[in-house]
């Protein structure tokens, strides 16, 4: 499993699925996302460990997959082997908006180009899963990159150690 940071800082972990964390999406410092890529190209998007929602004292009030008046990720209907009907996402396509009890709202982005296979409806009724189990039951969405782009998702990813160095530099520059 590996990690990907947005933009620019990327990390790769050691296990079968690979993942990434993306940092500072759209200029929002510290709002890192994690992309776990499995050997079958499927990418699971969740919050990276440094995301403000995973820091102490934050409580998630609501999660909304309604992106605009005409676009709801909950309306994504996928069928068949070729995943017909799946919504196509770009790297900066919003997946959902999460509101915390302190009034902050966070937009979670796809981080990768591909087809939206599913969103995790379980977090709508149990938002605490995002914080308690972000790498398993608390995932946000599953995306399938195009076959020809699947390798580029994992190229240049940061190792766990490199990501920790990014977090350390971030911490030192804010101190």
**Domain regions of the chain by residue span:** 3-174
Q: Alpha helix locations (H) across the chain?
A: 122-125, 128-132, 150-154, 160-174
Give the pLDDT score at 82. 76
* Confidence category of residue 67, pLDDT binned at 50, 70, 90: very high
Place of tokens 């915390």: 100
Residues 6+ apart with CB under 8 A from 69: none
Q: Is the pLDDT of residue 3 over 60?
A: no
Class of domain 3-174: mainly beta
Mean pLDDT value across residues 150-174 = 74
Q: Is the pLDDT of residue 5 over 60?
A: no
The two beta strands, 141-144 and 114-119, are antiparallel
Give the pLDDT score at 30. 60
The answer to whether 78 and 118 are in contact (CB under 8 A) is yes
pLDDT in tens, 69-118: 999 999 888 888 778 889 999 888 999 999 998 899 999 998 888 999 99
Q: In degrees rounded to 5, what are phi and psi of residue 120?
A: -90, 95
* Confidence category of residue 36, pLDDT binned at 50, 70, 90: confident
**Share above pLDDT 90 across residues of the chain, in percent, rounded to a whole number:** 30
pTM score, whole prediction: 0.79
């Amino acid at each position: 499993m590996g990690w990907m940071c947005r933009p620019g800082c990327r990390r790769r972990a050691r296990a079968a699925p690979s993942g990434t964390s993306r940092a500072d999406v759209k200029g929002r410092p510290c709002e890192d996302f994690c992309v776990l890529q499995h050997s079958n190209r499927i990418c699971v998007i969740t919050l990276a460990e440094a995301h403000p929602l995973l820091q102490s004292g934050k409580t998630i009030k609501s999660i909304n997959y309604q992106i605009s008046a005409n676009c709801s990720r909950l309306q994504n209907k996928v069928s068949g082997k070729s995943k017909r009907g799946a919504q196509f996402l770009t790297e900066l396509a919003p997946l959902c908006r999460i509101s915390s009890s302190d009034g902050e709202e966070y937009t979670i982005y796809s981080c990768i180009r591909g087809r939206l296979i599913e969103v995790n409806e379980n977090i709508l009724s149990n938002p605490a899963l995002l914080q308690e189990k972000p790498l398993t039951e608390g995932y946000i969405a599953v995306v399938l990159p195009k076959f020809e782009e699947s390798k580029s998702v994992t190229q240049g990813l940061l190792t766990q150690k490199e990501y920790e160095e990014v977090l350390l530099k971030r911490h030192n520059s804010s101190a």
